[in-house]
Amino acid sequence: MHNNKLYIVMVGLPARGKSTIANKLKENLTKYGIKTGIFNNGDLRRRLTGVESSRPEFYDPDNQQGVELREKIALTNMGRASDYLGRTGYVAILDATNVSLKRRKKIAGCITNHPILFIECINGDEKILKAGIQRKAASPEFSHLAKDEAIKSFRQRIEYYQMLYAPLKTERNYVKLDSLNNKILAEEITDKIPYWDRIRDFLVTDTVKNLFLLRHGETHFNLENRIGGDSDLTENGVAQARGLASYFQRKKIPVIFTSEKRRTVQTAVPIKAMQENCAIIPLKDFNEIDSGICECMTYEEIRDQMPDVSLARKKDKYNYIYPDGEGYVSMKYRVDMGIKKALYLSQDSQNIIIVGHRAANRMILSHFLYRREEDVPYIYVPQDRFYHIVATQDKKLLQLKPYDL
C-alpha cells in the first residue's frame, strides 16, 4: 500500500456543503502539488438520466430501479477513483451523500488499496438550510420546474435520504464537521492518513478568496446626520451604487449579501443588474446597530435630550448598549454568524460582495484584522471606497480601494 495516496469520502444529507468542501479541498491540496480529483455521483447521475433524476421518486428507497442505478453510479466512480490513484493522482474525493451504513461498508470493501478518510458535513441551521435549498432548486437540474415545485421536489429528496441516514460512528478514520462554523464535532483517526495535518487545518479555517466589503450609498439620513432608520438613497447615493456596478462589471459576482435595510439593497440592485446569474441575499445579521430609543435621532439631539446616554456612550463606545437596543459588543455574535453564513452560502465562489453599514462593517472588518475593542468603533468605513479582503491559509490581504462614479 502506497502511504502517500488517499481516498476522501464525503458524507451528509443534501445541501450540507459537501461539494463546497470537496472543491475547496481539491483547490487547496492541488496548490501544494498534491494532485487531487473529485468523483461526483450527482454529476454522473445527471449525465446518465437527465431530468429523470430530478423527480423525488428516483430517491425513494423502495424504488428498486432508482436504487440499482444509484448503486451502479457509485461503483463506477469508485472504479474511476481507484484508477486515478493508480496513475498520477494522490487524493481521490468521492463526493456523494453516502449516508447509509450499507453504502459506506461497500466503499470500504471495494477500495482497499489506500487509506479512506470519511468527512461528514453537518448543518442544523434551518435558515441557512432553507437558503441552500433555494439555491439548489435554482440549478439547471430543476430548470424545467417552477420555483415552488423545484423546492418541494428537493425537500422530498432530502426526506428520502433521511430515511437511510446513519451518522459516522464506526468507521476507522472520520471527521464530523459543522460545515457552517468550520468546527470539528468529532474525529477518529486510526490509520496513518496522508496530508492529515494540512486537511484538518483547512477544515477549520475560514477561506475567503475575494470578499468585497461595501458600505451602502449616501442616504437622506446621512445628510441629516441621523442614525439607524431605513432611509432611501439620495441621488448621489444612487450614483455611487452605479459607480460600484460599473467597477464590478469586470468581475464575476455570483452573490451579493446585504442587510434587510432598503439602503443596502438599493446599493446592490445596480450591481446585480450588470452581472449574469447574480443573486441578492439579505441577511438580518448584517443589519446596522440597533440604537433603540435613539433610532432616527441626530447625535446633537441625543446630546441635548439624553445627556446621560451621550456621556455613557462617549466613555466606552464599544461596550455601551443603547437603551432598548444594542451596542458593538452585542453585535459581535450576529455579525460573526453573518460572515459564516455568507461564506457557506457563497459555496466556492471566487468573488462575493457584502453591502453593509458603518458599524456593521466595522464589526466585519474586526473579524479579519486585529484591533483592540476600544478601537473598533473608529475603523474607517467611507462610502466612496470599499475593502478588498482575502483570507486563506497562505495569503492575507485587506486593502481599501476607490472606485469611480
> What is the set of active-site residues?
215-216, 222, 263, 288, 357
At residue 323's C-alpha, the angle toward residues 319 and 329, to 5°, is 20
Pairing state between β 352-356 and 255-258: parallel
Cell 453593509: give the residue: 356
**Is 16 in contact with 123 (CB distance < 8 Å)?**
yes
d(Cα 155, Cα 14) in Å, to the nearest integer? 9
**Is 178 in contact with 166 (CB distance < 8 Å)?**
no
What is the DSSP annotation of 214-272?
A: EEPPPBHHHHHTB-SS-PPB-HHHHHHHHHHHHHHTTS---EEEE-SSHHHHHHHHHHH
d(Cα 305, Cα 310) in Å, to the nearest integer? 9
- Helices 147-164 and 126-137 sit at what angle, rounded to 10 degrees? 120
- Cell numbers placing 290: 440597533
What count of other Cβ atoms lies within 10 Å of the Cβ of residue 160?
18
What are the Cα distances from residue 261, in Å, to 65, 80, 114, 285, 356? 49, 49, 52, 11, 9
Overall residue count recorded for the chain in this entry: 405
**Is 221 in contact with 229 (CB distance < 8 Å)?**
yes
What is the DSSP annotation of 315-341?
A: H-TTT---TTS--HHHHHHHHHHHHHH
d(Cα 41, Cα 70) in Å, to the nearest integer? 8
- Cell numbers placing 334: 450576529
What count of other Cβ atoms lies within 10 Å of the Cβ of residue 270?
20
At residue 176's C-alpha, the angle toward residues 172 and 182, to 5°, is 140
Pairing state between β 91-95 and 173-178: unpaired
